[in-house]
Amino acid sequence: MPPIDLTRRQALTGALAASMLGSTRINAAEGDVKNSRRRLRVGMSGFPNTFDPAIATDTAIRRIMPQLFDTLIAFDHTHGMALRPALAERWERIDAQSLRLSLRKDVIFHDGSPLTAEDVAFSLGPDHLLGPGRSGISEALQSLDRLRTVEIVDPYTIIVHAQGGDALLEQRLAAWGSEIVSKQAFTAAGSWERWTAAPVGSGPYRLVGHKLDVHITLAGHNAYWGGRPPFDGVEYRIIPELSARVNGLLAGELDLITDIPPDQFAGIHKRPDLEVLGGAVQNIRSLVLDQSDPVLKDARIRRAMSLALDRKLIVESLWENRLPIPNGYQLPSYGEGYIEDFPPLAYDPDKARELLAAAGYMGERITYRLLNNYYPNQVSGAQTMIEMWRAVGLTSKCR
């Protein structure tokens, strides 16, 4: 993301942006840095349910975590998700399952302690990665379950070993949940409850206060290894209602807001001092079909539901044609692992009707359970799909 000039660019779509304030660093215009730093005011829709990076990975959490913590390797969101150095200034493959990393020697945690290999081994070890009570509830295990051990060579050199050959080991160390925490601060906290209330990382901002469903306050970490942060602090205000977030932006009470559906873009574009910024996130929306359901247990009905969906029309009508339609459960950012010619899901309503007839479907109702606009356009998207299903003879209802 380019620098944000707060005199002109004050609106950002969390629906399309690469996890605003989550996947990218907050930058200020050059004039802001040279003159006086200010506090950035952000309106977002939900409060994170934890402040530890390994436990969960929901949207609200991911907007906060990269401000508080760093990973060994990072994704460059401005250059096709290429890998770049972060806490590790360089790395090299030893073999198919092992990676040697050299840590920066100028990294200071928010409590003033220096980063060493001990912190990395702890952060990526079972005492932290498995979550409270080592119960394995950590969502970080979705991408880090193949890590075996972190071998400490010296205070600033480690070797990460995977369980068997792992071509994605570097990407795992840049993924959600691989952030490095302070072992000393974690130990001093004495419990997960006290730790998650005041975690200690090495990111550009440190946590100084929070109130459930009201606000989260960060202060600049002036000893940050990447340079002095551009803002004195960041205040996240939790505003669930979209209209209230938009009104706060228009009234100048907020500098940035998140989770703006495309039908709100036109009003923002009318203001010369506001702008919508962002691009498609590294995410794929999908339906989970309950195969234990009496109706959905038939694969022909499940396939008919997929064939009835005109994904191109959904993207054009609900997202202003700003999003790509994924070809399979993959993204171009997978690099060499991306299969460019993999066929996308088909739209064939006639075939859908044939399958329903073959399955003996007699109009039994299928319940669609969803969160009420946890993501932008979630409800309108569900309503659109229900109408597409109805067009081929399927009966469904949101719940």
- CATH number where 304 lies: 3.10.105.10
**Rounded Cα–Cα distance for residues 61 and 72 (Å):** 19
| Residue 293 is assigned to a structural domain of this protein | no
Q: Do residues 158 and 210 both lie within one domain? A: no
Is the pLDDT score of 70 beyond 90?
A: yes
- The more confident residue out of 33 and 39 is 39
Better-scored residue on pLDDT, 144 or 281: 144
Residue listed under structure tokens 């993959």 = 330
Mean pLDDT score of the chain, rounded to an integer?
89
Local confidence band at 376 (pLDDT 50, 70, 90 cut-offs): confident
pTM for this one? 0.82
The pLDDT tens digits for 107-117 are 999 999 999 99
Same domain, 86 and 175: yes
pLDDT of 15 higher than 80: no
Question: Is 362 contained in some domain?
Answer: yes
Domain region containing 363 = 299-398
**pLDDT at 357 exceeding the cut of 50:** yes
Beta strands in 144-260 (DSSP E): 147-154, 157-162, 205-211, 215-220, 233-238, 256-257
| Local structure of 150: helix, strand or coil | strand
What is the structure's pLDDT at 177?
A: 93
Torsion sign over Cα 103, 109, 112, 118: negative
Q: How many domains does the chain have?
A: 3
Bridge pairing between strands 98-103 and 147-154: unpaired
CATH number for the domain harbouring residue 129 = 3.90.76.10
DSSP conformational letter for 329: S
Nearest of 195, 180, 220, 216 to residue 69 by alpha carbon: 180
